[in-house]
Amino acid sequence: MDISTADGEANKVKRQRKSNWRQDSCLLLLQLIAENKTIIEGKKFDSAVTAKVRRDTWDEITRKLNAAFPDSVRLKSEIEKKWWALKAQGREELCQYNKILQGTGGGPPPKPLSETALAVQLILGRDNVAISGTSKGLDTSAFKFR
């Protein structure tokens, strides 16, 4: 938000910087999401899981996380954003790990997966296409075009 002064300069209103996410708060967030994964990561068109149920679930996760870590109180939007970031980080790590496992060898062994990646794999499922990819490619040479 800008506040103009008489001399034309804009003073920026600074927002209070929050502390970085600690590993234990990230793991608690992942645990809470795992407990509610059918609501958080369920099908978006499931009639049993309405938008209100999702909002209430995120409110409950926010309340529990803030109760566990009162020194760094987070907003619901910040917690949801952190879940998306952790999910992306975990998927990327899992994809790289699977890519190394499918290699022909000759290189160093893959480093073990982090707790975050293992938790994301548990939440999304081992057979999730976003993590494992498709099992077989499509042989386009078999198609005949007219």
Residue-wise pLDDT for 63-118, tens only, equals 999 999 999 999 999 999 999 999 999 999 999 998 888 887 777 888 899 999 99
Q: How do residues 29-45 score in pLDDT, each as one tens digit?
A: 999 999 999 999 877 66
pLDDT of 5 strictly over 60: no
Average pLDDT over residues 32-59: 87
Parallel, antiparallel or unpaired: strands 2-4 and 10-12: antiparallel
- At 16, is the pLDDT very low, low, confident or very high (cuts 50, 70, 90)? confident
Instruction: Let me know how long the chain is.
Output: 146
Q: What angle do CA 21, 26, 29 make, to 5 degrees?
A: 125
Q: What is the pTM of this model?
A: 0.75
The two tokens of residue 117 are 């990646």
Nearest to 79 by CA among 92, 94, 67, 96: 67
The residues that bridge with 4 in the sheet, in sequence order, are 10
